[in-house]
Amino acid sequence: MNMDKERFSQHISRGFNEELESLRNEVLRMGGMVENHLDIAIEAIVAGDSKMGLAVAGRDHEINQMEVAIDEQCSQILATRGPAATDLRLIVAVIKTITDLERVGDEAQRIGYLASHLASSQQHSDHYHELSELGEHVKKMLHEALDAFSRLDVKDALQVVEEDKLVDEEYDMILRQCISLMMEDPRTIRRFMDVSWVARALERIGDHAKNISEYVIYMVHGQDIRHLGLEEIRQEIGVE
């Protein structure tokens, strides 16, 4: 009798585990799509390809649909399973993560439009090199954040949080460059305004990757480390 009961609860629990597993997979699938859009948007900037920029901007709704669907999945699980502790933290982290992913999608859309604008209205510039480097950097951060999410790896998540400072510095450098170039030749003002908006969008994506990493730490440790300094975070969770 006892054994039957145990087997029954295992069965229940296996179904629940599958739901959570499917939820995590959906988040990673959404993450993959967002990475793909970002990749194309940056490529459109570097290649000066207006059509490519517009095409990726026009596909943002795919990401939005995934957000809505995953949100629905979270509500279903909350309502039917009444999860607690780690499971509950996973679901709260997912609700927050997909909001950040959706906003990364919005930034990729913005970069796509800016790529089209830059490509069609002005001659190509060598200064997109820095944008491309910043782009590679935040793409790497986003990828590592999603990787930390999939492996629940706090150490890697902390690494991403740390990286964000470097991205902010790169962004500041690009901004200063843009202003210098505009002052040198006011005919370039429009173009370098666009370049600075792209840099800003990329810097924002770095912030979102950082947010996602913080949710990973919250998921694993159950401590809310947002808004703490890095030193405080390390002390809180006991990672050197």
Q: Is 104 exposed, middle or buried (0-12, 13-18, 19+ CB in 10 A)?
A: buried
Instruction: Count residues near its own copies (CB under 8 A).
Output: 34
Residue 112 structure tokens: 């796509």
Least CB distance from residue 227 to its own copies, whole Å? 4
**Burial group, residue 111, by CB count within 10 angstroms (0-12, 13-18, 19+):** buried
Q: Which is nearer to its own copies, 80 or 136 (CB)?
A: 80
Is residue 3 near its own copies by the rule CB under 8 A?
no
Place of tokens 């809505």: 68
7 vs 165, beta carbon nearer its own copies: 165
Is residue 179 part of the contact set for its own copies (CB under 8 A)? Answer: yes
Rounded to an integer, what distance in angstroms lies between the CA atom of residue 184 and that of residue 80?
Answer: 63
Report how far apart, in Å, the C-alpha atoms of 97 and of each of 67, 78, 126, 134, 168 are.
Answer: 10, 16, 35, 22, 21
Q: Which is nearer to its own copies, 68 or 239 (CB)?
A: 68
When the beta carbons of 82 and 238 are compared against its own copies, the nearer one is: 82
Shortest reach from residue 186's CB to its own copies, in Å: 5
* CB 190 within 8 Å of CB 144: no
Rg (CA), the chain: 21
Kindly state whether residue 229 participates in binding its own copies, applying the rule CB under 8 A: no
Among candidate residues 183, 33, 191, 184, the one with its CA nearest the CA of residue 199: 191
Identify the residue among 20, 33, 55, 88 touching its own copies (CB under 8 A): 88
- Single out the residue of 1, 3, 126, 227 in contact with its own copies (rule: CB under 8 A): 227
Query: In the set 173, 193, 230, 239, which binds its own copies (CB under 8 A)?
Result: 193
**DSSP H helical segments within 122-229, as ranges?**
128-151, 154-184, 189-221
Nearer to its own copies, 30 or 74 (CB): 74
Token pair for 72: 């629905």
19 is a site residue for its own copies (CB under 8 A): no
Question: Which positions touch its own copies (CB under 8 A)?
Answer: 61, 64-65, 67-68, 71-72, 74-75, 78-79, 82-85, 88-89, 92, 95-96, 99, 175, 179, 182-183, 186, 189-190, 193, 196, 200, 224, 226-227
